Each structure stands twice: as structure tokens, then as C-alpha cells.
Structure 1
Amino acid sequence: MTTPFWVGTSWKMNKTLDEAAHYAQALRGVDLFRDERLQGFVIPPFTALHHVCQTLADEPLMVGAQNMHWAERGAFTGEISPPMVKDCGADIVELGHSERREYFNETDAAINLKVKAALAHGLRPLICVGETAEEKRLGVAADTVIRQCRIALSDVADEDLDKVLIAYEPVWAIGEHGTPATADYAGWIHRHIHEALPTTPQGTSIPVLYGGSVNLDNCAALATLPEVSGLFIGRSAWQPEGLLAIAERVVTARFGN
């Protein structure tokens, strides 16, 4: 069976319920995501998570949450628990995004707690890692992302490794003014990550997606890299037409049709 190439997007703090409903409806019945070589996913804000999950429940796309707490319940005002995410119908939970690390002081240790909680509740953690521009300048980019990966996966059972996704997102490449990594640089970092990660009990590699200013112009070059297992797209896929256009280009580049 072919390992699917992942193509998805997080909407961050964007979209009202009506906007989310329009986007999700536009993905219904799309043959592109019925191709078993491709695994599509969308990660809406929590306010729209339940609705998007319901709208896409009978579709081959996965739906995820943008964050969660590691505790099942308790006095954590404003937080969302793993059972709450699961109750919405989500498949994935995005953890450790650089914006969470920078603006909300999330540590590697906290992300590890969340990863283990996600797995315990049947959620697939999408673990975001990436170096800052300063870390890149100092030549410790690979060391940084490997450290983040290893701490995030600390004490994760071998049998759970096939449920994990890694998203390599260099901090300097993210956002409206981000500069996308070149295909050569992305391939180099992805090779280092793969070499450092354990393999699953089935002998397969943990998928490592690239994210950071992915767009229609660079998606094909990134998709042809054997080390890249998928693309995690930002603003270029904040409209359904953008996600579909990139996914179509990825299929042609990666699989030849």
C-alpha cells in the first residue's frame, strides 16, 4: 500500500462559522482527495471544529484542532481538553506551533505532555518543529529541530509512533512576510530529522511535512523531494480553491499525473 502524501492547512485565528461552513462545503465530493496517494486535512479554529467535522464526516479528509491541553478536565480556564477535541469528531491535533511557543510560552516539555495525551485519546498529533532565523544563522538549525522532535516524542510508546506526524516549519519562513525555504534546504533538514527519528514497529518512517510559505509556485518542487512526506499550508490555502490548486499540482509533481 502506498504511503499517502499529506496536504493540508491550518486556518489559524481566521474564519467565522459561516466562512468555515462555506469552505468545508466546497470540499465535499472532491474526487482529488479520494486518491489514496493523497491524504488531505484541514485544521479550523475551535469555534468551527465541530461543524467542519460534521460537514466532512463522510469525506476522506481529516479534520484537526489547533491546540489542546494535556489534562482530561480541571481548573484550566479557557483551555480545551483531549476528550473535548475528540468529542467534536477531530482526527488530528496540531501541537507546538512556533506561534504557540513564542506568544504563549509553550515549552518542549509541555508539548511532550500534549503529544502523549493526544495519543492516549486516539488523536493523531501533528508536532510542529522549526528553528528561528538566529538559530539558522548560528548553524544550529538541525540541532534545534532534532531536540524539539526528541523531547516531543520522549516516552511515546513504539506502537504509537505510526500515529505521529511531524511538521517542519522554519520560524523565518512562516507568516505574511516569511521567506520559504528552498527545496535544497528543506530536503537537507528533512533528511536530518528522518535520521534522528525512530522508525515505527512496521519499519516505516514517521511522516515529516514541510510548512512555511508553501504556495502554488513552490509546492511542486517541495513535493518531489523524497524526504518530504507532505505539505502543511498556511494562507495560500485559506480559500478552498487554493488548497485544491496546490493539491492538484502536488499530485502531478509527486506521482506524474
Structure 2
Amino acid sequence: MKKIWLGSSWKMNKTQSDVVRYCEFIKPYLSAVDVELQTFLVPPFPYVKQVGSSLAETGCLTGVQNVGFESAGPFTGEISVGMAKDIGATLVEIGHSERREWFGETDATVNKKVKLSLLEGLKPLICVGDTIDEKRWGVTAESISRQVKIALHTVSADLVSQVIIAYEPVWAIGERGLPATTEEAEHGLSAVRLALIELYGKTIAEKVPLLYGGSVNIHNAKMLLRQQNIDGLFVGRTAWHPEGLLRLIRLASEVIEEQAYA
């Protein structure tokens, strides 16, 4: 039975009082989740330590939404992987399409950040995805494969099992995003898996958790989690309220129960 991953990035949302209320509400439920369900939260940087400390006993992992591509230096406004680790982060979100579109992230800088994160013992959560034009042109698989291969360039087989990869179609993200069908989500993640097999072989490739993100909601979560190559969900606005995350936890637990009796 595969382990299911379920987490959310809060992006540039919430204040300290919002964070306190969120953690207080969700903590009892996170403490009771199935051992086969791994939860994680990726808050804005100022609240990473607060969330990590509040939920430390629950098993929920905490991450940062970005890191710099160098260990230190004159990079105003950036945070290093060492700083992320120092405040208790265990995950590092890297390469989200919003970082690529608005802040100049490239496949090459993603690769640098992945390797620095692994050196610090942090788990890179690598985001890959196709644009609406790439989808229309029929090159989704090629685009995803390129992003995966460059992100993992020179990453050893020994370390790649520490990596998590999320397929997030650019056209499915955000308030106006169009939810991918289960077939589209599975197609994207099968391209990720095939790229991993090319790089590392089938046995190692199957150890890398693959997540789907992009307009995930309570109506499509279970069907997505039932797909062969989807090991979990990386959720946006549906999980920005703790009640939404709780409903997703319950749905994921139902899928785990289905797998146990399959």
C-alpha cells in the first residue's frame, strides 16, 4: 500500500492571528491521521517556525516556498537553504510556476536549489508543469520530462529518494484555473515517472513521491488519489481554511482504507 502525501502552500496569505487559529483548529486532527498519510504545510516564510513549533507533535512537515540559488551572499531579499533549515523547515518548494513567471526562476536555478537543499538534508518539493500552449500543441510530456531531467541533473541515485515532485499544470493553477481531469493529471505524472525511470531505473523511480496540484478540491480529490501515478496532492485555496484541509484529510483516509481492503 502506497503512502499518501497531502499538503498545502499558503502562498502570500495569512497574518499571525490567522496562523494561530489555523494551527489550533487543525492540530487535534493532524495528531490522529493514519500512519500512511503524510501531511505538510508550506506557510509564508515569517510563519514557518511558528507553524513548525505548533504542529511539532503531529508529524506534519513544514516547508518554505522558495530558497536562494547560492548558500550565502549579496542577494537582497533571498533566504538560504541554511536559514530555512535553521528555522525548522524540512521541505523546500522549488520551481513553482508563479516563481518562474514572476521572479525569473529557470530550470537551471531549480537545479541549483535542489542540490543545495539536498546538501542541507532538506526535501526538495520540485514543481513542474505545462502551459496552456504546450497542452494545446501536444508537448506536455516533453515539457515535463525536460523540467524533471534538468532539475535532477547530477543528483545521485542515493539522494533522489529524498525528492518529491509535484505536477502542477500552469493552466490549472489559481482562482481561474481549469481543474485537470484525472486522465490529464495521470498523463502528466506518468511523464514524470518515465523521466525518473530514464534517469535512475524503475526501482528507484518508484521511491519518489509524485503529487498532483492545480485546482484540487473536495470533489476531485478522491478520484485523483486513486490514480496509479498519483501519490498525493499539493493543494492551494481549498486547504487555506483548516476546515478544507480537514475534509481533504478525511477523503485521503478513505482512499487509504480502500487500498487496505483492495
Do these two structures clear the TM 0.5 threshold for a shared fold by scoring above it?
A: yes
Q: Could you tell me which residue of structure 1 aligns to residue 174 of structure 2?
A: 175
Secondary structure of residue in 1 paired with 2:127? strand
Distance 1:163 1:19 in 2: 31
Q: How well do the aligned residues superpose, as a CA RMSD in angstroms? A: 1.6
Alignment check: 8 A CA contact 1:194 1:205 kept: no
Q: Could you tell me which residue of structure 2 aligns to residue 233 of structure 1?
A: 235
Alignment check: 8 A CA contact 1:210 1:231 kept: yes
Q: Deviations over 1:75-110 (max 9, x none)?
A: 111000111100110110100000000001111000
Change (3 A) 1:62 1:147: same
Q: Could you tell me which residue of structure 2 aligns to residue 184 of structure 1?
A: 183
Identify unmatched segments of 5+ residues in structure 2. Answer: none
Change (3 A) 1:245 1:21: same
What TM-score, normalized by structure 1, do the two folds share? 0.95
Distance 1:5 1:159 in 2: 22
1:217 has 2:219 as partner: yes
Identify unmatched segments of 5+ residues in structure 1. Answer: none
Change (3 A) 1:79 1:15: same
- What is the CA-CA distance between 1:244 and the residue it aligns to? 1.1
Bigger shift: residues 188-197 or 105-114? 188-197
Alignment check: 8 A CA contact 1:93 1:124 kept: yes
1:127 has 2:123 as partner: no
Q: Deviations over 1:166-221 (max 9, x none)?
A: 00000000000100100011112211211111358767331110000000010011
Alignment check: 8 A CA contact 2:193 2:206 kept: no
Q: Which of these residues, 240, 243, 246, is aligned with residue 244 of structure 1? A: 246
Amino acid at match of 1:227: N
Secondary structure of residue in 2 paired with 1:27? helix
Alignment check: 8 A CA contact 1:133 1:171 kept: yes
- Matches for 1:35-46 after TM superposition, within 5 Å: 35-46=34-45
Secondary structure of residue in 2 paired with 1:30? helix
- What is the CA-CA distance between 1:34 and the residue it aligns to? 3.4
Q: Could you tell me which residue of structure 1 aligns to residue 69 of structure 2?
A: 70
Q: Deviations over 1:101-158 (max 9, x none)?
A: 0001111000000000000001100000000000100111110011000000001111
Q: Deviations over 1:51-70 (max 9, x none)?
A: 11111122211010000013
Bigger shift: residues 67-76 or 42-51? 67-76
Runs of 4+ in 1 over 4 A off after TM superposition: 199-203
Distance 1:120 1:138 in 2: 38
- What is the CA-CA distance between 1:162 and the residue it aligns to? 0.9
Secondary structure of residue in 1 paired with 2:58? coil
Q: Which of these residues, 199, 204, 207, is aligned with residue 205 of structure 1? A: 207
